[in-house]
Structure 1
Amino acid sequence: MNDHPRIPLAGVIGSPIAHSRSPALHGYWLKQYGIRGHYIPMDVAAEDLETVLRVLPKAGFVGCNVTIPHKEAVLALADVVSDRAALIGAANTLIFRPDGRIHADNTDGYGFIANLREGAPGWAPAEGPAAVIGAGGAARAIVASLLEVGVPEIRISNRTRARADVLRTEFGARVVVYDWVQAGNMMEDARTVVNTSSLGMEGKAEFRVPLDALDSRAVVTDCVYTPLRTKLLEEAAAMGCTTVDGLGMLLHQAVPGFERWFGHRPEVTAELREAVLSA
């Protein structure tokens, strides 16, 4: 009989990783629910990714989150890839099975939708088009989730149009691409507006997409959460829109992974938000 069962370990892999709020998030839940486990940040270079992933299960890891720049690369290293991760072309959550096999999933879209439904309870995705700014990894997950919940048309604009055209090709006829200089025009009659780019983030370029055509009935959300109230959200709120900050997406996307790794489905609460913001 083993009197000392292994303590489950999980973490987040990326490079750089010191800025990640995920250790504070999962650490809060582990403490709140009295679970004997640990969640740690791991700065892993691209050339070491496969070696590290193969070793972690042997060291007691039950899974991990994956962030920039490894979210696409892990798909080729996983033994099992969920339909969602395959569709999005990236994974953010890995589960290490007892036999050592790696299961890759993407919970970003789940986190995005859960955050919108919590922050804007009256949100009705089928009521009108969505305008999406940016065409990177976050946009892929968000476009897939918006299509799944019934948004009739998704308008995308990106500083480099070619990246938006790729999403149009992969996700089909409900996706319409706008040139960057026409990004403001996407807002007309849009009921959902999403910034998936880094515009407006602390230390990044300012958000300058004109909002003149923004409909006051729109729900506006920003994936940026540093600052929590971005220029986009401030201006949209002043125009009468319902706004939802980006922190909730980070919190909600963590729920499925924590449940798989530690055996308890955690709750997203106001206290959790405060703990992560003050980390």
Structure 2
Amino acid sequence: MSYDKVPLAGVIGSPIAHSKSPQLHAHWLKVNGLKGFYIPMDVASDDLETVLRTMPKMGFVGANVTVPHKEKVMELADLVTDRATLIGAANTLIFRKDGKIHADNTDGYGFIQNLRENAPDWNPKTGPAAVLGAGGAARAVVASLLDAGVPEIMISNRTRVRAEALQADFGSRLTVVDWVQAGNMLEDALTVVNTTSLGMVGKPPLRVPLDGLRKDAVVTDLVYAPLKTRLLLEAEKAGCTTVDGLGMLLYQAIPGFERWFGVRPVVDSATRAAALR
């Protein structure tokens, strides 16, 4: 009697206990009636290469990657997509049958898809975007906004040199604004994005003045704990269209799940509920 291998996938990071990805993927496996498991794995940096080389031998078909390994896996992968190269980080790995590790970044896809689904009237080409933060998430957001046709991006970060590094990489459509002037960016911005952890549960608040928000702006926060951050609450009061950060997490997970388990999952209210459990 022969038994089919049960496909395994998971998320690698350190720490990892807080990740919502396992409950999200478990939900999709269940509703699609698929065999498979998705598990959280707390992996130290020193063990990353050994773990990645061993996983395919254990039945793993792929993995998500989160902090602090998103840059390091780029060096360990055999094949890296153009978008992961542009962003400088990977969040999705596919272990191919020929033994090669394929690295991709779906964060930008997840970000744009979340905006398109939850702010259907959003038109990136109508005016500038303002981006708060210049870390790994900001790189994915900037790359995807430029790709979507945003004419100009104003970017501000507490450490200015990090914002300047993004400007150097992404070019003349980026303008760096000092953090103390970050509130002023909002007066011209039709797309506003917080990519920092400010405003998250357990983190300092986002203290940028928000009185410059335009009522015709689309405002989104990558923070999803709480779902309604101060930025989103103030934006709602100002009459803006707001999009919470949970959707980005859900949509960025679609391409990986489809590659690993062979079915394209759907994001709906039950998916959101599963991720919030």
TM band (smaller chain): over 0.9
Cα offsets for 1:6-62 (capped at 9, x unmatched): 100000000000000000000000000010000000000000000000000010000
Which residue in 2 is equivalent to 1:253? 252
Q: How does 1:1-279 map to 2 (within 5 A)?
A: 3-278=2-277
Shift of residue 214, structure 1, vs aligned partner:
1.1
- SS of the residue corresponding to residue 60 of structure 2 reads coil
Cα offsets for 1:154-201 (capped at 9, x unmatched): 000000000000000000000000000010011112100000000000
Cα offsets for 1:46-82 (capped at 9, x unmatched): 0000000000001000000000000000000000000
Cα separation, 2, equivalents of 1:223 and 1:106: 16
Cα separation, 2, equivalents of 1:213 and 1:23: 39
Cα separation, 2, equivalents of 1:87 and 1:262: 27
Matching residue's letter, 2:52: L
In the alignment of these two chains, the number of paired residues is 277
Cα separation, 2, equivalents of 1:187 and 1:252: 26
After TM superposition, the structure 1 stretch with the greater mean CA deviation from structure 2, 84-93 or 208-217, is 208-217
Cα separation, 1, equivalents of 2:22 and 2:212: 40
Cα separation, 1, equivalents of 2:52 and 2:164: 33
Q: TM-score, normalised by structure 1?
A: 0.99
Shift of residue 5, structure 1, vs aligned partner:
1.2
Cα offsets for 1:67-116 (capped at 9, x unmatched): 00000000000000000000000000000001110000000000000000
Cα separation, 1, equivalents of 2:2 and 2:154: 57
Shift of residue 252, structure 1, vs aligned partner:
0.2
Cα separation, 2, equivalents of 1:194 and 1:93: 23
Matching residue's letter, 1:12: V
Cα separation, 2, equivalents of 1:61 and 1:90: 21
- 4+ residue runs over 6 A deviation: none
- SS of the residue corresponding to residue 63 of structure 2 reads strand
Matching residue's letter, 2:246: L
- SS of the residue corresponding to residue 216 of structure 2 reads coil
